[in-house]
């Protein structure tokens, strides 16, 4: 059956550039010239007849079409990688498949996997990043690390919970734009809905779960600020750094706070959410998967 899909090379270049929001870093990652990356992106935009990136001085941003394509491409690449690993000849009994977003993988999981791999070099760890996709099935992975509401207890199918309160952050330049003194008293919840901050977009993952209203609670009416949906947490964080709006942060963003790229001017925190290791009830858990899972629990 014929298809009219872009080339795999073009999609690989797009995924790298979109994930890093940089043509230069994509060129380094793929061992290409920056001109070659720009050419592939331009050809892809011509084939799709739409802009995937918004160019600015020394920076690129994803358009809505680019964000949508990035989610699909990353999910399909993850599924393709999983299928290839399954059909490759050889013993795959040592493989452990973990479901985790790129946000969690980069900021929490990677360093812990590194320590485990040093002690267990014979175990291959594969990451499935599409855990937030609608068609994700937890039974397809050995276990997943997912953001969710905390239950307050651990069970066989949820052996670890990592509560992480949520709080709004933004770039310091955004507050300076409105002459808000960062050294003054913390902002109040209601300040988010008052001029001039009421015009600043609230970045969110989707519109079904309004964390901003949950964060406000019963202390004030839900903020009427415009919402901007950015599904990928890494892209959402970068958008906040670039001054495009507020985003909800947790302890995994501590590096950006320490570096001064983001500030947290509100004291109020939204409790009751965090990350949990989740296991499918009916899935067989290999000894290797159990070893990794117990290692992560001990490290936590």
pLDDT (tens digit per residue) in 127-162: 998 888 877 888 889 999 999 999 998 888 899 999
Coil/strand/helix, residue 192: helix
What pLDDT is recorded for position 281? Answer: 79
**Residues 27, 119 within the same domain:** no
pLDDT of residue 81: 74
Q: Residue 166's pLDDT band (boundaries 50, 70, 90)?
A: very high
Whether residues 184 and 278 share a domain: the answer is: no
Q: Indicate which CATH number applies to the domain containing 34.
A: 1.10.10.10
Classify residue 20: in a domain, yes or no. Answer: yes
Regarding whether 182 and 160 lie in a shared domain, the answer is no
Judging by DSSP bridges, how do beta strands 247-249 and 273-278 pair with one another? unpaired
Which CATH number is 181's domain given? 3.40.190.10
Q: What is the pLDDT of residue 159?
A: 94
Q: State residue 184's pLDDT score.
A: 73
Q: Which of 56-65, 86-95, 177-186, 269-278 has the lowest mean pLDDT?
A: 86-95
Looking at the domain assignment, is residue 223 inside a domain? yes
155 and 173 part of one domain: no
The token duo for 16 is 């790298």
How many Å from the N-terminal Cα to the C-terminal Cα in the chain? 49
State which residues form the domain around 216: 167-270
Of the candidates 167, 136, 165, 166, the residue with the CA atom closest to the CA atom of residue 278: 136
- The model's confidence at residue 91, banded by pLDDT at 50, 70 and 90, is very low
Name the pLDDT band for 207 (thresholds 50, 70, 90).
Answer: low
Same domain, 147 and 219: no
Q: How confident is the model at residue 87 (pLDDT cuts 50, 70, 90)?
A: low
Question: How far is 53 from 26, CA to CA, in rounded Å?
Answer: 14
| Mean pLDDT along residues 70-75 | 91
Describe the chain by its helix, strand, coil percentages, rounded to 5: 45, 20, 40
Whether residues 130 and 202 share a domain: the answer is no
| Same domain (yes/no): 199, 133 | no
Q: How many domains does the chain have?
A: 3
* 201 three-class SS: coil
Is 82 inside a domain boundary?
Answer: no
d(C-alpha 124, C-alpha 93), whole Å? 9
- Residue 81 in any domain: the answer is no
CB crowding 1-12: b at 16 or more within 10 Å, else e:
eeeeebeeebbb
Do residues 64 and 133 both lie within one domain? no
**In terms of residues, how long is the chain?**
300
**What are 31's two structure tokens?**
């061992």
Same domain, 182 and 60: no
283 plus 153 within the same structural domain: yes
Average confidence (pLDDT) over 86-111: 80
CB atoms near residue 204 (< 10 Å): 21
DSSP state of 189: G
Helices (H), the chain: 8-20, 23-30, 34-48, 64-87, 102-104, 110-119, 172-177, 211-216, 233-241, 254-258, 287-299
pLDDT at 206 over 90: no
On whether the CB atoms of residues 130 and 80 are closer than 8 A, the answer is no
Q: What is the pLDDT of residue 222?
A: 83
**Smallest Cα–Cα separation from 129: which of 153, 158, 93, 98?**
98
pLDDT value at position 47? Answer: 92
Predicted confidence (pLDDT) at residue 66 exceeds the cutoff of 60: yes
Q: CB–CB of 136/129 below 8 Å?
A: no
Could you check whether the bond before residue 165 is cis, i.e. omega within 30 degrees of 0?
no
Residues 231 and 256 grouped into a single domain: yes
d(CA 195, CA 224): 11
Is the domain of 260 the same as that of 120?
no
């Amino acid at each position: 059956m014929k298809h009219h899909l872009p080339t795999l090379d073009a999609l690989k270049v797009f995924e790298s550039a979109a994930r890093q929001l940089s043509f230069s870093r994509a060129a380094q990652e793929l061992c290409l010239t920056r001109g070659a990356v720009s050419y592939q992106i331009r050809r892809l935009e011509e084939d799709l007849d739409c802009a995937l990136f918004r160019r600015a001085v020394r920076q690129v941003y994803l358009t809505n079409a680019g964000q949508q394509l990035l989610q699909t491409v990353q999910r399909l690449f993850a599924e393709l990688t999983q299928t290839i690993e399954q059909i490759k000849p050889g013993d795959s009994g040592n493989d452990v498949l973990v479901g985790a977003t790129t946000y969690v993988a980069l900021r929490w999981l990677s360093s812990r996997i590194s320590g485990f791999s040093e002690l267990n070099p014979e175990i291959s760890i594969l990451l499935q990043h599409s855990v937030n996709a609608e068609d994700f099935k937890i039974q397809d992975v050995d276990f997943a690390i997912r953001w969710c509401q905390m239950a307050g207890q651990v069970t066989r199918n949820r052996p670890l919970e990592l509560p992480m309160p949520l709080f709004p952050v933004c770039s310091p330049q955004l507050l300076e734009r409105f002459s808000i003194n960062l050294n003054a008293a913390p902002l109040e919840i209601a300040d988010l809905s008052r001029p001039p901050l009421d015009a600043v977009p609230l970045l969110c993952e989707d519109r079904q779960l309004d964390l901003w209203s949950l964060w406000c609670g019963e202390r004030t009416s839900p903020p009427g600020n415009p919402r901007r949906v950015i599904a990928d947490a890494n892209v959402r964080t970068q958008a906040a750094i670039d001054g495009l709006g507020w985003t909800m942060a947790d302890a995994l963003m501590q590096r950006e706070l320490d570096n001064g790229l983001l500030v947290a001017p509100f004291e109020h925190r939204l409790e009751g959410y965090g990350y949990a290791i989740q296991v499918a009830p009916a899935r067989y858990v290999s000894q290797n998967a159990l070893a990794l899972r117990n290692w992560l629990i001990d490290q936590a």
